[in-house]
Amino acid sequence: MAKRDIEIKYKQIFINNEFVPAKSGKTFPVINPANKQIIAEVAEGDKADIDAAVAAAKKAFARNSEWRKMDPSGRSKLIYKLADLIERDQEILGILECLEVGKPIGSAKQEAFGAAHSLRHYGEWCDKYFGETFQAPGNMVSMTRKEPVGVVGQIIPWNGPLAMLAWKWGPALAAGCTIVLKPAESTPLGALHIASLVKEVGFPPGVINVVPGYGHTAGAAISSHMDINKVAFTGSVGVGKKIMEAAAASNLKRVTLELGGKSPLIVCEDFDVNTAAVMCHNFICANSGQICVAPSRVFVHESIHDAFVAKLVAQAKARKVGDPFEPGVQQGPQVNEAMYKRVLGYIEAGKKEGAKLEVGGNPIGDKGYFIEPTVFTNVTDDMKIAKEEIFGPVQCVFKFKTMEEVIERANNTTYGLAAGILTKDINKAMTFANAVEAGSVWVNSYMAFNLSAPFGGYKQSGIGRENGRYGLENYLETKTITMNINPVN
């Protein structure tokens, strides 16, 4: 059994490198989804606390501040040091993530390591972006300068809180911005521990601020704030739309959105059925199905459909679901009561609409929010479970005959985050990869993230891209300076 007893040290709002209570004095409970018990009471930030955090971030971003005058190499050093401390505290962060998300302890620790890794990726970028010069008529020359966009608000979800924090902080810090982050209300503890590391690293006060709180209060205060220049959001489509509206109605702050998905994975007849079933099972059930790119629509060629389903069902039956601290457990609970009820609601809808429940479909006990790995077949494209994001361990399997048909059906969705194809045929692979309307396409792999390569959604899956150079661009303004190089005087 992995160690699980840990003192929760950081439960307050982090502003100007200090932990402070909420101005209202309020707190909210963080619940362990594996046993429904309260892990900690955390300060509940709202508009007043966001205002204080933004004021700190604005001061840290002022012209001639320590942060603005710092060389890129100085920023790089701080980012690297933060990554090192996250790695040093991998065990603590893993335990916190296991407690608040319900993620199996091994993958929770792995996520902490991944967060350090992605920060290091951006530690490299601090001095690797450049302006250009342009031909101009006469004695004129134009050049561009890349400048930090300023104070940024970042709102992240609960399904990968450490990874999401690092994906947001890396490019913002590399660009020289200052940050107000609001973690999800279900999962503020990992972010607050990392906030303590910010101080230990020695970032100037106000460069990074973390305000736990609810979305409709603290989150909404970020998206409508007049002194925030950009908001970066990961979460649901509904909230993404609200954020865009608030950004437009306030100060037209820049907006990037990473939203949901209903990603198709195509299994062709030439691909090994067993490998395909193992992959589809693992990727839909990873993190209890709570991953935005989860392959939630699996299209299987009709000639191998039945053999594939038999193997998928065997996988689902063999999956070890339970206490995420137990070694060997592959799946913990859903993150909270609302998500648990939502997933069970979709399972009921699937049954009612006539899909065939092959395996699973039930809650496991009542101690925590556990749900059996579930497989539906005979799913038709118009069913609720075929169209809407379930965000649970629920696989919907569809049959297809031809590539033309499957491309059409794969694209028949309002989402466009990710897609995949399993085939030995390069023509099929490239035909699908070119035709599918999705920001990431995996061929003979799935969920293989590359920190250098852009990630983001087509259609209602989002706006903008994260990671690598593309991610950095979102935190930069481009200024054109045009100069007369032969002045008259």
Of these, 89, 97, 323, 389, which contacts ligand NAD (CB under 6 A)?
A: 389
Of these, 102, 150, 219, 464, which contacts ligand NAD (CB under 6 A)?
A: 219
Restricting to residues 169-198, name those near ligand NAD by CB under 6 A.
182, 184-185
Residue 363 corresponds to which tokens in the numbers above?
């809650």
Does residue 236 bind ligand NAD (CB under 6 A)? yes
Nearer to ligand NAD, 224 or 423 (CB): 224
Q: How would you write 313-332 as a 3-class SS string? A: HHHHHHCCECCCCCCCCCEC
Which residue number is nearest to ligand NAD in terms of Cβ?
Answer: 215
CB 359 within 8 A of CB 336: no
Annotate 100-113 with DSSP letters as a single string. Answer: HH---HHHHHHHHH
Sign of CA dihedral 322, 186, 373, 419: negative
Smallest gap from Cβ 337 to ligand NAD, in A, equals: 12
Sequence letter at residue 127: D
Pairing outcome for strands 254-258 and 178-182: unpaired
Choosing from 44, 97, 258, 389, the catalytic residue is 258
The single-letter DSSP state of residue 216 is: I
Residues 394, 371: Cα–Cα separation, whole Å: 9
Nearer to ligand NAD, 261 or 332 (CB): 261
Smallest gap from Cβ 273 to ligand NAD, in A, equals: 29
Does residue 215 bind ligand NAD (CB under 6 A)? yes
Q: Which of 323, 332, 319, 322 is nearest to 288 (CA)?
A: 332
Restricting to residues 438-477, name those near ligand NAD by CB under 6 A.
462
Helix residue spans in 70-223 (DSSP H): 72-88, 90-101, 105-123, 161-175, 189-201, 220-223
User: Is 141 exposed, middle or buried, given 0-12, 13-18 or 19+ CB atoms closer than 10 A?
Assistant: middle
Determine the interface stretch with ligand NAD among 75-83, 91-99, 149-157, 189-197 (rule: CB under 6 A). 149-157
Residues 63, 54: Cα–Cα separation, whole Å: 16
Determine the interface stretch with ligand NAD among 64-72, 216-224, 326-334, 372-380 (rule: CB under 6 A). 216-224
Does residue 53 bind ligand NAD (CB under 6 A)? no
Smallest gap from Cβ 457 to ligand NAD, in A, equals: 6
Does residue 287 bind ligand NAD (CB under 6 A)? no
Of these, 40, 239, 247, 410, which contacts ligand NAD (CB under 6 A)?
A: 239
Does residue 157 bind ligand NAD (CB under 6 A)? yes
Smallest gap from Cβ 233 to ligand NAD, in A, equals: 7
Does residue 97 bind ligand NAD (CB under 6 A)? no
Does residue 260 bind ligand NAD (CB under 6 A)? yes
Strand order in the sheet with 462-463: 18-20, 13-15, 208-210, 178-182, 151-155, 230-234, 254-258, 462-463
Instruction: Judge whether 100 counts as a catalytic residue.
Output: no
Does residue 216 bind ligand NAD (CB under 6 A)? yes
Smallest gap from Cβ 479 to ligand NAD, in A, equals: 30
Residue in this structure with the two tokens 């790089």, named with its chain if needed: 76
Residues 183, 186: Cα–Cα separation, whole Å: 8
Of these, 103, 109, 121, 242, which contacts ligand NAD (CB under 6 A)?
A: 242
Cβ count near 147 (within 10 Å): 14
Smallest gap from Cβ 177 to ligand NAD, in A, equals: 19
Does residue 220 bind ligand NAD (CB under 6 A)? yes
- Supply the residues annotated as catalytic: 258
Could you list the residues that contact ligand NAD (CB under 6 A)?
155-159, 182, 184-185, 214-216, 219-220, 223, 234-236, 239, 242-243, 258-261, 292, 389, 391, 417, 462
